[in-house]
Structure 1
Amino acid sequence: MSSSSWTERVVLVRDGVRLSCRDWGRSGGSGPDTLLLHGLAGHCGEWDALARLLRDAGHRVVALDQRGHGSSERLPADVSRAAYVADVLAVVEELGLVRPLLIGQSLGGHTALLTAAARPDLPRALVLVEAGPGEPEPGLPEQIGGWLRAWPVPFPSREAAVAYLGDGKRAVGEGWADGLEERDGGLWPRFDPEVMERSLHENARRDFREEWAAVTCPGLVVLGEGGIIGRDQYADMARARPGLRGVSLPGAGHDVHLERPELLGGLILDFVRRQGL
């Protein structure tokens, strides 16, 4: 599948899992290679606005449908944090990304963080959007799984999906609705709730402060004022990484990349320029 803006690339990883990417290429210039990682139950199309902005600024941009999501393998056996990290490494190698800028939102940001910790030589820099090392949350998988199973699917129309998934925020609803597929007379998610639950099991058991402390590349954290990362958690992150840059966007929630893509893009480009990347 292709469009005038991006081309689908398929990568097969060690356990036979098929990964689908949107490769936006580069429009000219010498910006860093960039890999975009969406959050839980998301899809690579969430990044379209940001991907286009970064590509037009000279970045080579790739957005990944992570395992269990979108056009990638829907029912992978392994959804450990290590498997998600291994997927990033496989995509970087297969598509020839050179010391990429890793950008991730929510669980995608967590994957980017773990990749940077496991392979300090790999990323040029790390951008976490509403993401961090987290804290143990024993009931998190069941809570998220219950929310996903409560979706009134199939949605009878795109407008109904936008209204439900956006909860009053049109841009958020549009972004989530873009991840649905049409079949059997309605619109359905492109993920399995049970797979999403299993993907959170490690996050429910422990924090990842040790991995955060092992990250050595420059870092930018972008938070929504109404998001999931509180002041105390960010302060803890900053204490472990004194050179960390952090920005909180007033009026934004967890889906900063959908609500404020132009502002997020500007922050990233400014960060890249200041760091000389």
Structure 2
Amino acid sequence: MPTHLTTPDGTRIAYRDHRPTGYGDHRPTGPATPASVPAPPPILLLHGLAGHQGEWDDLTHRLLADGHRVVTYDARAHGDSTRRPATTTRASHVQDALALIDHLSLTPATLIGQSLGGHTALLLAAAHPARVASLVLVEAGPGGPNPDLPTRIASWLDSWPTPFETLDAAREFLGHEAWARGLERRADGWHPRFDHDRIVACVAELATTSYWSHWSRIPHPTLLVRGDKGTLGDDETTEMLTRRPRTRHTLIPDAGHDVHLDQPARLHEAVTAFLRTRKDLDLNQN
């Protein structure tokens, strides 16, 4: 069962704090384990719009095996968090992630966010750089302004034939078992664990606002991950790399927008290679 953190505006955020075996134990020093070797950075995983923290289960298990502490959570208006919070602004989403980082003493954390969760991670890194060690964006970028986005999201949600009679029917329609696990069972079938209007409201600011200035001022090492069948466009990707040319970019084959569900092993490989590079740089600087 998830634990809940109540934010200053009264929103309850459901989260899970996953720790590998022996996490926090004293590590002996010596030639093979010098005191200067940093522990693996804690990782905060941020899911996308209409999703839930369980989407990260596969990657979480892999990162735990690597020795990372991993925190997952349901964004406000999603899953087991407050379904109808007072606000769903981009700033409120950033404050929720920041509250978890501070409450759980994750600073500096590696942020891995997919889609809207990646956008939240991007904004957090820009506004609170001291809380962040590095950034991994999965099918996510600055985006905006995109006037058609709320209408497209509403139409997508309207297309869901809810309630689903069975979980198998949900899996077939939604495309992934993890998406089906995000549903809740009621007397008449399986329903989403969110309210339609609150989900659409989560993207309202993306219709009118540009976030390129936030992207340009991020100081952290960054990995941009795209699926070769994903929705993050070539033009936006090119602009991102032009503005921050030191950003690493990885294209995952046979993956759509949900790279973390389509190709979890390949995503893990990309993330671990990126984090290994950061660790090597940190060791060389000590």
TM-score for both structures, normalised by structure 1: 0.93
Q: Whole-Å Cα distance in 2 between the matches of residues 241 and 97 of structure 1?
A: 26
Q: Deviation string for 1:178-205 (max 9, x for gaps)?
A: 1001111311100111001111111011
SS in 1 for 2:50: coil
- One-letter amino acid of the structure 2 residue matched with residue 194 of structure 1: D
In structure 2, the CA distance between the partners of 1:74 and 1:191, relative to structure 1 (3 Å rule), is: same
8 Å contact kept, 1:39–1:109: yes
The correspondence for 1:81, drawn from 90, 109, 117, is: 90
Q: Whole-Å Cα distance in 2 between the matches of residues 239 and 256 of structure 1?
A: 23
Q: What is the match of residue 212 of structure 1? A: 215
8 Å contact kept, 2:76–2:88: yes
Q: What is the match of residue 159 of structure 2? A: 150
2:138 is equivalent to residue 129 of structure 1: yes
The correspondence for 1:239, drawn from 238, 242, 251, is: 242
Q: Deviation string for 1:1-45 (max 9, x for gaps)?
A: 2xxxxxx22111010100001221123472110000000000000
Q: What is the match of residue 111 of structure 2? A: 102
% identical aligned pairs:
46
Q: Whole-Å Cα distance in 2 between the matches of residues 210 and 59 of structure 1?
A: 31
- One-letter amino acid of the structure 2 residue matched with residue 129 of structure 1: V
Q: CA RMSD in A?
A: 1.1
Greater mean deviation of Cα atoms: 66-75 or 133-142: 133-142
Q: What is the match of residue 62 of structure 2? A: 53
- Consecutive unaligned residues of structure 2, counting only runs of 5 or more, are 24-38
- Measured after TM superposition, the shift of residue 145 of structure 1 is 1.2
8 Å contact kept, 1:24–1:52: no
TM-score for both structures, normalised by structure 2: 0.90
- One-letter amino acid of the structure 1 residue matched with residue 7 of structure 2: V
Of structures 1 and 2, the larger Rg is shown by 2
Q: Whole-Å Cα distance in 1 between the matches of residues 188 and 148 of structure 2?
A: 34
2:272 is equivalent to residue 269 of structure 1: yes
Q: Whole-Å Cα distance in 2 between the matches of residues 14 and 182 of structure 1?
A: 31
8 Å contact kept, 1:179–1:189: yes
Q: What is the match of residue 170 of structure 1? A: none
8 Å contact kept, 2:254–2:262: no
SS in 1 for 2:129: coil
**Runs of 4+ displaced beyond 4 Å:** none
Q: Whole-Å Cα distance in 1 between the matches of residues 80 and 72 of structure 2?
A: 12
Q: What is the match of residue 36 of structure 1? A: 45
Q: Whole-Å Cα distance in 2 between the matches of residues 15 and 70 of structure 1?
A: 18
Q: Whole-Å Cα distance in 1 between the matches of residues 170 and 74 of structure 2?
A: 21
Greater mean deviation of Cα atoms: 137-146 or 155-164: 137-146
- Consecutive unaligned residues of structure 1, counting only runs of 5 or more, are 2-7, 167-172
- Measured after TM superposition, the shift of residue 143 of structure 1 is 1.4
Q: What is the match of residue 14 of structure 2? A: 20
- Measured after TM superposition, the shift of residue 248 of structure 1 is 0.8
